[in-house]
Amino acid sequence: MTDRRVKVGVVGVGSLGQAHARIYSELSEAELVGVFDVDRKQAEKIATQYKTTPYTSIDELASKVEAVSVVVPTDLHRKVGGQLIEKGIHLLVEKPIAATTSEAEELVRLAQEKKIILQVGHVERFNPVLSFLDRIKTRPRFIEAHRLAPYPPPRAGLLPRGTEVSVVLDLMIHDLEVILHLVKSPVKDIRAVGVPVLSRSEDIANVRLLFESGCVANVTASRISPEKLRKIRVFFEDAYVSLDYQNQSGEIYRKGLLGISRDEIPIEKGEPLANELRSFVGCVAHRDEPVVSGEHAAEALKLAAEICQRVREGAS
């Protein structure tokens, strides 16, 4: 073990990027060296708030750090991520890994060639509720996931955050990545529907996935809901687990001789993003494989892209 502090930076310090900056500034394992944003006033504001340096270019920041969080719009992930990889910088790229599967594959290839750690920000994998599922060795038979969120607020000169892509890539991909992790089986069939409401692409979508293992997953995502909700239910041979990501709570229902029993799942609550960034810093320090690698995130993106294609084929 080493007690050295990993020198980190953040590219893009909008609503989510400033949270990355805050957490890095609090981590004993990391030194927040600086931030960069195309909005120089925003970069200066966040740098002042977290006692770090606002850099005027990505290259200037890259020359001072060994690892960076890339928190820019999805359609810029390939450009910004590739620029940093070429300079030998380890990356945590916010999800989805890229806007297209080909861009994702390029980032993965570049990282492999440069021997760079490429972690992708599928933050639900660091939600304490999922640790219980990881301890269950039985394969799931049916999964139901719901993810609802209000429409993002407007931004001057920019699309509302996340709406440059479909809700499938914006929100549903969180659940797709978790489901692929749990099922560990190829997808056999996809049935999907979705509609744009306020955006150019889908704002609400539903998909039914059939896996070669026989497991079925039904997944719904919406970014036009008046309420926030992030829940998953996973059914096994003789039990099912109901988890609430948002409230970090869960219940398990078991089939017994006298009927069905219900027990609360003990969960040690924590901030998923802090868990994720701490894990990333540890991977950089010890050259460990990330929990959500670029390769795995690319698989989730590939599935999301196939779902978007099925949605649009059905609408034509």
How confident is the model over 220-253, as pLDDT tens digits?
Answer: 999 999 999 999 999 999 899 999 999 999 999 9
Give the CA-trace dihedral at 146, 167, 122, 192, to 10 degrees. Answer: 60
How confident is the model over 20-32, as a mean pLDDT? 98
Q: Are residues 115 and 140 in the same domain?
A: no
**What separation in angstroms does the CA of 153 have from each of 149, 150, 162, 182, 223?**
12, 9, 10, 33, 11
Residue 30 located in a structural domain: yes
Q: Are residues 35 and 129 in the same domain?
A: no
Residue 24 located in a structural domain: yes
Residue 184 located in a structural domain: yes
User: What pTM does this model have?
Assistant: 0.91
State the burial class of residue 144 (Cβ atoms within 10 Å of its Cβ: 0-12, 13-18, 19+).
middle
Q: Cβ contacts of residue 31 below 8 Å, gap of 6+?
A: 5, 6, 7, 8
Q: In whole angstroms, what is the distance from residue 242 CA to residue 249 CA?
A: 9
Q: Are residues 26 and 82 in the same domain?
A: yes
Residue 165, phi-psi category: left (phi > 0), alpha (psi -120 to 50), beta (remainder): beta
Q: Is the peptide bond before 150 cis (omega within 30 degrees of 0)?
A: no
Q: Are residues 38 and 75 in the same domain?
A: yes
How confident is the model over 31-43, as a mean pLDDT? 97
Q: Are residues 108 and 238 in the same domain?
A: no
Q: Cβ contacts of residue 41 below 8 Å, gap of 6+?
A: none
Residue 244 sits in a domain whose CATH number is 3.30.360.10
Q: Cβ contacts of residue 104 below 8 Å, gap of 6+?
A: 78, 96, 97, 98, 294, 297, 298, 301, 302
Report, in angstroms and rounded to the nearest whole number, the Rg of the chain calculated over CA atoms.
Answer: 20
Residue 69 sits in a domain whose CATH number is 3.40.50.720
CA 144 and chain centroid, separation: 19
- How many folded domains does the chain comprise? 2
Q: Are residues 29 and 174 in the same domain?
A: no
Note the pLDDT tens digit of each residue in 295-304.
999 999 999 9
Residue 77 located in a structural domain: yes
Residue 119 is given by DSSP the state: E
Q: At residue 30, does pLDDT exceed 70?
A: yes
Residue 62 located in a structural domain: yes
Q: Are residues 111 and 158 in the same domain?
A: no
CB atoms within 10 A of CB 174: 25
Residue 298 located in a structural domain: no
Structural domain range at position 226: 125-269+303-315
CA 251 and chain centroid, separation: 24
Q: In whole angstroms, what is the distance from residue 86 CA to residue 68 CA?
A: 13
Give the CA-trace dihedral at 34, 47, 73, 125, to 10 degrees. Answer: 70
Residue 82 located in a structural domain: yes
Q: Are residues 164 and 309 in the same domain?
A: yes
Note the pLDDT tens digit of each residue in 91-130.
999 999 999 999 999 999 999 999 999 999 999 999 999 9
User: Coil, strand, or helix at residue 141?
Assistant: coil
Q: Are residues 165 and 309 in the same domain?
A: yes
At 227 the pLDDT is 93
At 3 the pLDDT is 67
Residue 297 located in a structural domain: no
Mean pLDDT of the chain: 94
Q: Are residues 134 and 110 in the same domain?
A: no
Q: Are residues 67 and 198 in the same domain?
A: no
Q: In whole angstroms, what is the distance from residue 289 CA to residue 27 CA?
A: 20
Q: Are residues 170 and 188 in the same domain?
A: yes
